Amino acid sequence: MRQWSLVSGLIVAALPMLAGAQPAGGPPPRPDRIVLLHAGTLLAVPGSSPQRRMTVVVRNDRVAAIAEGFLTEPPGGSGGAVVQVVDLSDRFVLPGLMDAHVHLEHEPAFNRRRAERGDRYPPASGTPGTKAEGAVNAMIYARRNLAAGFTTVRDLGSDDQAVFAVRNAINAGRMVGPRILLAGSAIAVTGGHGDSTPIPATGHDETRLADGTCDGAIECRKAVRYQYKLGADVIKFTSTGGFGSNTGLEPQLFGDEIEAIIATAHLLGLKAAAHAYSPVAIKDAVRAGVDSIEHGFLLDDEGIALMKKSGTFLVPTLSASYPPPIFRIPDPPSVKLRNEHRAFERAYAAGVKIAFGTDAGTFTHGDNAKEFGFMVGFGMKPMDALRSATVMTAELFGIAAEAGTLEPGKLADVVAVKGDPLADVATLKTIDFVMKSGVIAKRDGAMLEPFSYPPPSP
């Protein structure tokens, strides 16, 4: 997958530290920063056993070493670096969490406020109103995701401009937020789950492209290329209808459209994510090589076998099947559907790869960790739930060499909680400490203010 956004952010953040980058007579080079994190319990690699009394040595944005005991000096000396010791000796420390399915431009409370104000706006459609409101929302909600311990999130469907701008500002160190991988507009067919172009259609190609709307293989290739051109990190397409748009749950794309979308994404080095409920649509997408099935509530046994064989991820979004009370929906059909089919339970039992994803935005941003409770409540081992939000999401995103575990050379994305999440995943709802790319964003339960990267040199 394309990692420009990830890599460019690192380069920008690292520039002030490169002595050679300073012009003659400019300010002196900033010294390296070393942080010694004293972890009472450290789960460095979810899936393997936690260790007691460990030190995570962070140098600038990366993990430099993992050492036994509580070090007060960096191994090999400080070498002129600024050294900080952070006492997490009574905390449980683990890699930063990742959510594979969020929508950063909106959430129910925002939608309802708009509706109550009488704005000409359908509250269930998931669109944020104006682009400007979408941008402001994305700034606020991105920060809330980070405060909840989610150091990387994947936005699977948003306005084509607002979240791009927010991602770029975060990567450039101008704003606080999680690392964002984004899809831009989800690709959808005319009248499908995700087509929000006006009726009658304007006929303007650019409007349809910006919205990700396409019909036929050629148009769908073009729609994918358009999101790539805008800077998408991943391609999302809505293979079936959905709850938010009242377009049903049945297939909406022909096989050649599905193949065109996935093949074009892969040609461009991007992963492809399919919103899919109908078992036929799921299997068509899996056969065409899709990287993840989002929701997948109607997954059948044949689909499970196919996903296991192909190594396709399921992103369960269990939280999304339980609409928040603010919607005041009696007997939500999504709950009935989920509980009848139990796709998550069956896929997990069969050994299908599961990547943590919530659909935050259909509920309040920052409540993402409630998904852990659903996963464990439906039979997943707590360790597997933690793995799904770290190791597995990193693999799905194509960033496993950079994130997902705390190992030397990887990005220093670290969270800590009081209590033991392996005994009670509910502890993950109260994140005490957050470090992203070596910068402490939250400590003792409070976001640090001001939290900023060094300003760029003049």
Cα distances from 131 to residues 122, 126, 170, 196, in angstroms, run 16, 13, 18, 14
Joined together, the tokens standing for residue 227 give 């999101």
Residue 101 Cβ vs Zn ion, minimum distance, rounded to whole Å: 6
The mark string for 15-54 relative to Zn ion (x by CB under 5 A, - otherwise) is ----------------------------------------
Between CA 327 and CA 122 the distance in angstroms is 13
Nearer to Zn ion, 164 or 363 (CB): 363
Q: State the burial class of residue 384 (Cβ atoms within 10 Å of its Cβ: 0-12, 13-18, 19+).
A: middle
Nearer to Zn ion, 146 or 360 (CB): 360
Choose the stretch contacting Zn ion; rule: CB under 5 A; options: 76-84, 328-336, 351-359, 444-452. Answer: 351-359
Nearer to Zn ion, 13 or 100 (CB): 100
Residue 225 Cβ vs Zn ion, minimum distance, rounded to whole Å: 22
Q: Is 432 an interacting residue with respect to Zn ion (CB under 5 A)? A: no
Nearer to Zn ion, 329 or 447 (CB): 329
- DSSP-based three-state secondary structure for 127: coil
- DSSP-based three-state secondary structure for 422: coil
Q: Is 259 an interacting residue with respect to Zn ion (CB under 5 A)? A: no
Choose the stretch contacting Zn ion; rule: CB under 5 A; options: 38-46, 130-138, 301-309, 358-366. Answer: 358-366
Residue 409 Cβ vs Zn ion, minimum distance, rounded to whole Å: 33
Choose the stretch contacting Zn ion; rule: CB under 5 A; options: 30-38, 127-135, 200-208, 354-362. Answer: 354-362
| 69: region left, alpha or beta (phi > 0 left; psi from -120 to 50 alpha) | left
Which listed residue (61, 155, 284, 359) binds Zn ion by CB under 5 A? 359
Between CA 38 and CA 35 the distance in angstroms is 9
Joined together, the tokens standing for residue 458 give 């003049």
Residue 186 Cβ vs Zn ion, minimum distance, rounded to whole Å: 8
Residue 357 Cβ vs Zn ion, minimum distance, rounded to whole Å: 9
Residue 97 Cβ vs Zn ion, minimum distance, rounded to whole Å: 18
Pick the closest to residue 153 from 173, 128, 182 (CA basis): 182
**Among residue numbers 190 through 249, which ones bind Zn ion (CB under 5 A)?**
none
> Could you tell me which residues come within 8 angstroms of residue 297 by beta carbon, excluding any fewer than 6 positions away?
249, 277, 321, 334, 337, 338, 341, 343
Q: Which residues pair with 416 in a beta bridge?
A: 93, 433
Other Cβ atoms less than 10 A from the Cβ of 191: the count is: 15
Nearer to Zn ion, 107 or 359 (CB): 359
Calculate ∠ Cα 144-150-155, nearest 5°. Answer: 80
Residue 137 Cβ vs Zn ion, minimum distance, rounded to whole Å: 15
Nearer to Zn ion, 126 or 404 (CB): 126
Joined together, the tokens standing for residue 82 give 């600024």
Choose the stretch contacting Zn ion; rule: CB under 5 A; options: 91-99, 131-139, 282-290, 359-367. Answer: 359-367
Between CA 155 and CA 145 the distance in angstroms is 12
Nearer to Zn ion, 37 or 360 (CB): 360
Q: Where are the alpha helices (DSSP H) in 330-399?
A: 333-341, 343-350, 370-377, 382-388, 391-397
Nearer to Zn ion, 38 or 167 (CB): 167
Distance between first and last Cα of the chain: 34
Between CA 26 and CA 23 the distance in angstroms is 5
Cis peptide bond N-terminal to 200, omega within 30 = yes
Residue 239 Cβ vs Zn ion, minimum distance, rounded to whole Å: 13
Residue of this chain nearest to Zn ion (CB atom): 359
Nearer to Zn ion, 15 or 326 (CB): 326
Choose the stretch contacting Zn ion; rule: CB under 5 A; options: 178-186, 195-203, 357-365, 373-381. Answer: 357-365
**Among residue numbers 61 through 100, which ones bind Zn ion (CB under 5 A)?**
none
Choose the stretch contacting Zn ion; rule: CB under 5 A; options: 86-94, 281-289, 355-363, 366-374. Answer: 355-363
Choose the stretch contacting Zn ion; rule: CB under 5 A; options: 207-215, 232-240, 335-343, 353-361. Answer: 353-361
Residue 380 Cβ vs Zn ion, minimum distance, rounded to whole Å: 21
Residue 253 Cβ vs Zn ion, minimum distance, rounded to whole Å: 17
Instruction: Characterize 138-168 residue by residue with b for buried, 16 or more Cβ atoms within 10 angstroms of its Cβ, and e for exposed.
Output: bbbbbbbbbbbbbbbbbbbbbbbbbbbbbbb
User: Rule CB under 5 A: which residues touch Zn ion?
Assistant: 359
